[in-house]
Amino acid sequence: MRDEKGYTTDLLSRHALEFMDKNRDRPFFCYIPHEAVHAPYQAKYEDILRVPESVRDGTPLLSQQEYEELFLVTDGWTKLPKEQLSIVYSAMLISLDDGVGNVLHWLTDNGLLDDTIILFASDNGATPVGSNLPLRGGKHTMFEGGIRVPAAIWWQNGGLQGGRIYQGDFGYLDVYPTLCSLSGIEALPGLPLDGRNLSDELLSGSQTPPVPQHWVWEQEGVVRDGRWKLIYNLADMRLFDLNEDLAETTNLASDKPELIERLKKMHEAWLAETRCTPSYAVPRIGSETKAAPEGDVLEFYAEQTDAVPGPHAGLKFIFALGYGDEYRDAPSPGDTIEYDICVAEDGRLDGFFYTPSVGWIPAYLRNTGYDQFGRLQTSGPGPLGGQGVWERRVLGVGNHCPNRVPFNMMIMGNKTPGTYHFYIDNLVVRKADGRVIAMWKDASDSFQRWHEPPFMMTPDHKAFKNVRVEAVPLD
């Protein structure tokens, strides 16, 4: 399908219909992962013409050529004014409705509709282009607008004819065991399932007692226990009572320290049980970790002559390749990044930090990137032993699974001038299964173009001089 031409929503619908047609005489499972509505926001002109006036609200349509010229470029939709973007968004929904409708029509025409379980749901809340009202937040947030989504299930001959609202907890982990039960088949043997079979609750309309639920995201995690929801970040704990405040307008963290501590420990225990090491929590280490530099070490030196607001306004450059590209293992939930670090006698102990990165987007930012000592990397902590002492540092990266983190970046910058002079060695990824992926161990791993654009973001930074990065023998 990769090389097929056409509108993605139409292609997915067509392939789904072809699959069902081939399997019409036997039970089948058909998963249709429509991308609509999703960026890039692009719509067929024929669907744009169908957008109702209630959405257009008097906004005149552009010509077909004008829309198509914008859609030729992936980010062309970003040039659309808000009113036009709403029209394109609505047209994409129309196309999605058509695709779902075509599936239902096929089931009807083939006499299978009443015997088919149909589940329709979204993967996450809408972006700001859409709406999640009355919920707070949306996609890429841990507020209810990001993680509470609408869903509908229908099975005419099985007792799910519609007209009822199920108010209990139901998550994506529950879909597989529930569908297996409704279909009368056994779940595949293997690891214990985290999801629950909620078929009885759906059929009867009853509610099962809520169980603690957890989410992991790039900058924070969530634990929900009944009415209470904790958005977990060590630098910013937020507590909400969803029974009284579904819109999450009032943070109760300062009023309920004992509840915060209970939910915090609950989330940390769950992270340990699932062997997940996110960067927003202090990573667990199985035993004492000691630095063991040998052979080549990578020397960093820079003189900062003027003040900068902080590291993110300072010097940034990529010094080694990361992992997760086609040549190396992709990130897993239990991964940690480890390296040895030592500050020279003439080097400052603050104002710099290491981070894996996706291009120029650091993985450690906005209160993430805690080491095994509970220190936030963006604060630029030096080794606990001071200058001249090697330290082994362990950092979580599991919340970036399954995204790639293809680069390793160093960031320097402080409100006071000073000299940066430090060394690192043995930069590795330690997988949950014990495997180790080396990212920097000697001069052959150095990124030779670290000082050139685009690998150094600010090669002409006026606050820094005499910048060098080079592999040197360990003294």
- The last residue of one of the domains, among 187, 204, 221, is 204
Domain that holds residue 350: 296-473
The confidence score (pLDDT) of residue 74 equals 86
Residues 218 and 258 in one domain: yes
Do 303 and 414 lie in one domain? The reply is: yes
Residue 143's pLDDT band, with cuts at 50, 70 and 90, is: very high
CA distance 193 to 177: 8
Nearest CA to 396 out of 265, 262, 234, 172 is that of 234
0.95 exceeded by the pTM?
A: no
Shortest CA distance to 382 belongs to which of 418, 343, 410, 412?
A: 343
Query: Which segment, 56-60, 331-335, 434-438, is predicted with the most confidence on average?
Result: 56-60
Least confident of 19-23, 96-100, 161-165, 258-262: 161-165
396 inside domain: yes
Q: Is 81 exposed, middle or buried (0-12, 13-18, 19+ CB in 10 A)?
A: exposed
For residue 42, give the nearest of 15, 67, 11, 6 by alpha carbon: 67
In sequence order, the 6+-apart residues with CB closer than 8 A to the CB of 157 are 114, 115
Phi and psi dihedrals of 85, rounded to 5?
A: -65, -35
Is residue 374 situated within a structural domain? yes
Residue 282 lies in a domain: no
Report the alpha-carbon distance of residue 187 to residue 435 in Å, rounded. Answer: 30
Q: Amino acid identity of 266?
A: M
> Same domain for 185 and 219?
no
Q: What is the pLDDT of residue 326?
A: 46
Question: Residue 234 is encoded by which pair of tokens?
Answer: 């060590």
Cβ pair 465, 368 in contact under 8 A: no
Average pLDDT over the chain reads 91
pLDDT tens digits, one per residue of 172-181 = 999 999 999 9
d(CA 314, CA 415): 10
pLDDT for residue 309: 86
Is 217 found in the same domain as 199?
no
Q: Could you tell me if 430 and 309 lie in one domain?
A: yes
* Whether pLDDT at 1 is above 60: no
Provide the 3-class DSSP secondary structure of residue 37: coil
Are 246 and 356 within one domain?
no
Give the separation between CA 201 and CA 209, rounded to whole angstroms: 11
Query: What pLDDT digit, counting tens, does each position of 97-116 carry?
Result: 999 999 999 999 999 999 99
Listed range (5-19, 229-243, 301-315) with the worst mean pLDDT: 301-315
Tokens matching residue 475: 């003294």
1 within a domain of the structure (yes/no): no
Confidence at residue 325, expressed as pLDDT on a 0 to 100 scale: 54
277-285 mean pLDDT: 91
The residue ranking higher by pLDDT, 447 or 46, is 46
CATH code (residue 339): 2.60.120
* pLDDT surpassing 60 at residue 328: no
Strands of the 405-412 sheet, one edge to the other? 315-323, 405-412, 352-358, 361-362
Q: Are residues 342 and 447 located together in one domain of the fold? A: yes
Query: Rounded to whole angstroms, how far apart are CA atoms 311 and 304?
Result: 11
Q: Which two tokens stand for residue 34?
A: 């429509």
Whether residues 324 and 358 share a domain: the answer is yes
Residue at 443 is within a domain: yes
| Mean local confidence (pLDDT), 139-157 | 93
Quote the pLDDT of residue 327.
43
The predicted structure's pLDDT at residue 2: 65
What is the CATH number for 253? 3.30.1120.10
Residues 6 or more apart in contact with residue 92 via CB below 8 angstroms: 9, 36, 37, 41, 42, 43, 47
At 190 the pLDDT is 85
Give dist(CA 250, CA 246) in Å, integer. 10
User: Same structural domain for residues 266 and 332?
Assistant: no
Using a pLDDT cut of 90, give the percent of the chain over it: 71
pLDDT at 191: 79
pLDDT band at 287 (very low <50, low <70, confident <90, very high): low
One domain, residues 30 and 158: yes
Q: Is the pLDDT of residue 76 over 70?
A: yes
What is the tens place of the pLDDT at every residue in 225-280? 999 999 999 989 999 999 999 999 999 999 999 999 999 999 999 999 999 999 99
Residue 359 belongs to a domain: yes
**Number of folded domains in the chain?**
3
Domain membership flag for residue 391: yes
Please check whether residues 251 and 367 belong to one and the same domain: no
CB-CB neighbours of 164 under 10 Å: 11
Q: What does the pLDDT look like over 419-458, one tens digit per residue?
A: 999 999 999 999 888 889 999 999 999 988 888 877 787 7
- Compute the C-alpha angle 343/346/351, nearest 5°: 55
Residues 321 and 195 in one domain: no
Query: Highest mean pLDDT: which of 21-25, 158-162, 312-316?
Result: 21-25
Output the domain CATH number for residue 89. 3.40.720.10
